[in-house]
């Protein structure tokens, strides 16, 4: 196993241990010793890679985002429904952990992870954009990330009745709002 694979494996283990522990106790009351024991990693590993438990969540979400982006089709450009369908597939795979993060008020890493991936794909010109698209406007990435994460939360809470493809198309349809008049910019 390569060093990167070992790092990813340790990160995954400590993340899942943290998720399991925050289901039964407040994050602030979890000791590093208990977390490391549950994860099967050393305290040295924890102190070398993290200073807070939120960093574990952030780093795991970034690992998930990288995995998500690697799973996207290698087409020149992605249609929004395709990109969103792949995101909802990722959400479905991680549904239990994501619900725990929402229930414990730790959804910000999910929002940051989605925003990072979306803006990165935009920068690489991997997403089809219509003329007059808002994607280059300030706050667009934050707006979209919040909207998609909130939508994914409701989808999870409703038992994922709709398919990821349906949810991807739904989000894409929501984004088809037509501009009716020029807005003032400050």
pLDDT in tens, 36-63: 999 999 999 999 999 999 999 999 998 9
Please count the structural domains in the chain. Answer: 2
Scanning the structure block, which residue is given the tokens 């993290």?
50
In the predicted structure, residue 183 carries a pLDDT above the cut 80 = no
Give pLDDT, residue 72.
Answer: 76
Share of the chain above pLDDT 90, in %: 61
Same domain for 43 and 3: yes
Helix (H) / strand (E) containing 106: none
The pTM of this model reads 0.83
Same domain for 171 and 84: yes
Taking the C-alpha atoms of residue 154 and residue 146, their distance in angstroms, rounded to an integer, is: 12
In the predicted structure, residue 179 carries a pLDDT above the cut 50 = no
Same domain for 134 and 45: no
Taking the C-alpha atoms of residue 105 and residue 108, their distance in angstroms, rounded to an integer, is: 8
- The DSSP-derived string for 107-155 is -HHHHHHHHHHHHHHHHTT-B---TT-STTSTTHHHHHHHHHHHHHHHH
Give pLDDT, residue 137.
Answer: 75
Lowest mean pLDDT of 31-35, 38-42, 134-138, 148-152, name the range: 134-138
Same domain for 143 and 95: yes
Q: Residues 164, 85: contact at Cβ < 8 Å?
A: yes
Q: What is the domain extent for residue 4?
A: 1-51
pLDDT digits (tens, 9 = 90+) for 104-116: 999 999 999 899 8
Category of 50 on φ-ψ map: left (φ > 0), alpha (ψ -120 to 50) or beta: beta
Arithmetic mean of pLDDT, 166-176: 91
pLDDT, mean over the chain: 88
Tokens of 150: 């909130």
Higher pLDDT, 58 or 68: 58
Same domain for 71 and 36: no
In the predicted structure, residue 29 carries a pLDDT above the cut 90 = yes
Q: Residues 18, 12: contact at Cβ < 8 Å?
A: no
Same domain for 86 and 139: yes
Same domain for 76 and 93: yes
Same domain for 152 and 88: yes
Q: Could you tell me which residues are beta bridge partners of residue 78?
A: 127
């Amino acid at each position: 196993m390569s060093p990167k694979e070992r790092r990813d494996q340790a990160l995954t283990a400590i993340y899942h241990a943290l998720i399991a522990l925050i289901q039964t106790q407040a994050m602030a009351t979890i000791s590093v010793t208990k977390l490391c024991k549950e994860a099967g990693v050393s305290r040295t590993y924890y102190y070398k890679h993290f200073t807070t438990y939120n960093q574990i969540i952030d780093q795991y979400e970034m690992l998930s985002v990288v995995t998500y982006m690697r799973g996207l089709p290698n087409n020149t450009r992605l249609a929004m429904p395709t990109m969103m369908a792949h995101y909802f597939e990722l959400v479905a795979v991680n549904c239990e952990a994501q619900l725990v993060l929402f229930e414990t008020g730790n959804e910000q890493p999910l929002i940051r992870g989605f925003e990072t991936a979306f803006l990165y794909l935009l920068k690489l010109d991997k997403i089809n954009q219509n003329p007059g698209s808002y994607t280059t406007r300030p706050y667009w990435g934050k707006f979209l990330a919040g909207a998609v994460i909130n939508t994914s939360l409701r989808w999870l809470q409703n038992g994922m009745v709709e398919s990821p493809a349906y949810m991807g198309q739904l989000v894409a349809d929501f984004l088809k709002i037509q501009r009716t008049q020029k807005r003032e910019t400050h």
